[in-house]
Chains A and B, each alone.
Chain A
Amino acid sequence: MADLFPPLATAQVDAKTKVDEKVDYSNLPCPVPYDEVHREAYMSLKAENFEGFRFDFSKGLNQKFSLSHSVMMGPTEVPSQSPDTTIKIPVAHYEFGANYFDPKLMLVGRVMTDGRLNARLKADLSDKLILKANAQLTGEPHMSHSVFNFDYMGKDYRAQLQLGNNALVGATYIQSVTPRLSLGGEVFWAGVPRKSGLGYAARYETDQMVASAQVASTGNVVMNYVQKISEKVSLATDFVYNYFSRDVVASVGYDYILRQSRIRGKVDSNGVTSALLEERLSMGLNFLLSAEIDHKKKDYKFGFGLTVG
């Protein structure tokens, strides 16, 4: 779903110069936001594989303002009755987007030919308070979602309040406990399926590795580990377990950031192998190849695309 691919030279883990010195507990760094606790692991393990053809053209009018045109043609999955068969319907659509990036305000909007709008807003209300809003609006009634987040960044903690439509309320809090370890918790209440949930997360990071874990009252337990082998290579592994439905998935992934290309792939215990290659053909021209093979369900997805600008 992301239309803007991350730049090829993104560093995996922030370089933290931690030496064996006495820890100053009053001067701990600010932790990553609660939603990004698994950020490094998901860069390799949840790459944006797609099926079909895609073409993205991005035109900058200004330092801050740009327009984007995207064409996507390919089969999309439709939920089917039996879990063994997947039904795919070929669709083609064109999406127009406008982006405005300012240090204090970010506006991203995408509209498709069928009238669906995907809008994102991020505004710095003050030095420490950030408002983020995300909405998917359609013409059909009761099919739109919107979420508003208020993030407060303290000295060594972050707190977030989330309000969504259909009476969704959530709050998260994450705190740095030592320079490397941060712990957090979340609580949410969803009005429509009257459910409430509680979750905890922990993240331990050094220069070379990041380990994180998350437990939620929905029954999900997620644990992952990322090791940065060198500037160009990092490996990640992930273990997801649901203690109500007894589903277990383990996966191993890699991320190679090379000079002209970036290749990410993973192998799963569900029999899914996937890879995504982003190659920079020349300045501003990126070529994408995506493959996802599900051996168990015999579902093969291949995609190719071009990104200009």
Chain B
Amino acid sequence: MAAKPSLKIKGKGKGTKVSSSSTSSSKYELVKEWTNWSLKKAKVATHYGFIPLIIVVGMNSDPKPHLFQLLSPV
């Protein structure tokens, strides 16, 4: 295992490549990691997608506005 670099070094400085640790602590680390990963992806998705989401929701509401009204400055 010495040749494999630890992939899981985060700011906390905990390497999780210890294979002999108890399953509960490594599960906890995995859960923490997955939540961090999903929060990062959610943040990127919100950052790019929030305004388009509002536009899609708004363009589909009653009475339906035209695409021309969205783009014209008047």
Contact = CB atoms under 8 A, between A and B. Distances in A.
Contact of B51 (A59, A98, A135): A98
A107 B57 contact: yes
Contacts of B15: none
Contacts of A63: 63
B50 interface: yes
Most chain B CB within 10 A, of A64, A98, A111, A165, is at: A98
B58 A61 contact: yes
Interface string A107-125: 1110100000101000000
Interface residues of B, number: 19
A99 B59 CA distance: 11
Contacts of A62: 58, 61-63, 65
A102 to B, nearest CB: 8
A109 B58 contact: no
Interface in B24-64: 39, 43, 46-47, 50-51, 53-55, 57-59, 61-63
A98 B63 contact: no
15 contacts: A61-B58, A62-B58, A62-B65, A64-B58, A65-B61, A100-B57, A100-B58, A102-B61, A107-B50, A107-B53, A107-B54, A111-B51, A117-B46, A117-B47, A165-B39
Interface of A: 59, 61-65, 67, 96, 98-100, 102, 107-109, 111, 117, 119, 135, 137, 139, 144, 165
Interface of B: 39, 43, 46-47, 50-51, 53-55, 57-59, 61-63, 65, 69-70, 74
